[in-house]
Amino acid sequence: KYDIKRATSYVPGSIASITHRVDVNTLEEGPASSLQLNEIGRVKVSLDAPIALDGYSSNRTTGAFIVIDRLTNGTVAAGMIIAKPVSGGGSHHHGELAHVSTEERAQRFGQQPATVLFSGLSGAGKSTL
Longest alpha-carbon distance in the chain: 66
pLDDT class of 12 with cuts at 50, 70, 90:
very high
Residue 94 has pLDDT above 60, yes or no: no
Dump pLDDT digits (tens) for 106-128.
888 888 878 888 888 888 877 77
For residue 89, the model assigns a pLDDT of: 55
Torsion angles phi and psi, residue 108, rounded to 5: -60, -45
Q: Is the distance from CB of 18 to CB of 41 less than 8 angstroms?
A: yes
For residue 92, the model assigns a pLDDT of: 58
Q: Is the distance from CB of 106 to CB of 113 less than 8 angstroms?
A: yes
Give the chain's mean pLDDT: 86
pTM greater than 0.85 (yes/no): no
Would you give the DSSP letter of residue 17? E
> Domain 2-80 is classified in which CATH homologous superfamily?
Translation factors (2.40.30.10)
Q: Is the distance from CB of 64 to CB of 81 less than 8 angstroms?
A: yes
Percent of the chain beyond pLDDT 70? 88
Q: Which amino acid is at 95?
A: G
What's the whole-number mean pLDDT along residues 22-37?
94
Residue 96 has pLDDT above 70, yes or no: no
Break the chain into its structural domains and give their ranges.
2-80
Separation in Å, CA 88 to CA 36, 54, 84, 96: 39, 17, 12, 13
For residue 76, the model assigns a pLDDT of: 95
